[in-house]
Each structure stands twice: as structure tokens, then as C-alpha cells.
């Protein structure tokens, strides 16, 4: 994947929220707000980064994208 660091950030944020959610012993959305926020933020940032790299590197970026198919989640996106 092209943005492995963003995927790691998402894993850490979901893990932290899951730990907080389990401590509450009942489902509430509040512990998950950070993970939701990070998902929205990093997906948007990923798209902006892709656009900037395309503008900066052009054909070389296209070749890289052909070799590395997925942006953020292997096998999905």
C-alpha cells in the first residue's frame, strides 16, 4: 500500500477506542469518535497526497501506482 503510515495510525486509533469502549461495558459512540475522526481525516489526506504526487511526479507516479495498487487498505482501497 502507498500510505502504510496512515494505516498504522488508523490501527492505533481503533485499538485505543476499542480499549476505551470495553472499559465502559456498554456501547456508546463517544469512545469511537476519535477513530471516526481519524478515518475521515486520513482518507481525505490520502486523496490530497495522491493529487499532489500526481502533479509533482507525473508519469513516474503513474508507474508507481501501477506497481503499488492499493492506497490505504490492502485488497480494498
| Pick from 68, 38, 34: nearest CA to 50 | 68
pLDDT at 56: 93
Residue 59 lies inside a defined structural domain of this protein? yes
The domain in which residue 39 lies consists of 4-67
Residue 74 lies inside a defined structural domain of this protein? no
Q: How many helices (H) and strands (E) does the chain have?
A: 3, 0
* Torsional sign, CA 45, 46, 50, 56: positive
pLDDT tens sequence across 38-72: 999 999 999 999 999 999 999 999 999 999 888 87
User: Over 70: is that where the pLDDT of 24 sits?
Assistant: no
Residue 76 lies inside a defined structural domain of this protein? no
Q: How far apart are CA 10 and CA 64, in angstroms?
A: 23
Q: Count how many domains the chain has.
A: 1
Amino acid at each position: 500500500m502507498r500510505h502504510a503510515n496512515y494505516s498504522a495510525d488508523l490501527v492505533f486509533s481503533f485499538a485505543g477506542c476499542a480499549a476505551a469502549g470495553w472499559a465502559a461495558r456498554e456501547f456508546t459512540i463517544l469512545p469511537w469518535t476519535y477513530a471516526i475522526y481519524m478515518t475521515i481525516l486520513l482518507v481525505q489526506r490520502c486523496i490530497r497526497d495522491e493529487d499532489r504526487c500526481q502533479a509533482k511526479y507525473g508519469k513516474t507516479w503513474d508507474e508507481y501506482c501501477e506497481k503499488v495498487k492499493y492506497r490505504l487498505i490492502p485488497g480494498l482501497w
